Amino acid sequence: MEHTAKEGSAKRALIDGVTVGGKTGTAQRGVNVRDEVPYGWFVSYGKKDDGRSVAVAVFIDPTDMDISRSDISGGRLGAPIAKKVMEAVLGK
């Protein structure tokens, strides 16, 4: 998960001075899954050297969003939200 944050789809969750790990994803929704914009999700953790840590899960429901299928992803939408939560909890 730390590799995904450093090198992969979760880079938007990185916080200076905090070890961050994350897993991004999408999930099918609706009956005609090829026609529907999928859900997006992001699960992450952050830990500081002093032992403080936090875990965050973000779920993106695109039902009322004017967004394309290619714009939904956990890394694009969920990671920045998780970053803000982790920063608030860890005092960054």
pTM of the shown model: 0.87
Host domain of residue 53 = 2-90
Dump pLDDT digits (tens) for 35-69: 788 999 999 999 999 999 999 999 999 888 898 88
Dump pLDDT digits (tens) for 16-28: 999 999 999 988 8
The Cα–Cα gap between 32 and 25 comes to 19
CATH value at residue 9: 3.30.450.330
Residue 50 CA, distance from chain mean position: 24
Closest of 60, 64, 58, 28 to residue 43, by C-alpha: 58
pLDDT confidence of residue 23 = 95
pLDDT confidence of residue 37 = 87
The total number of structural domains in the chain stands at 1
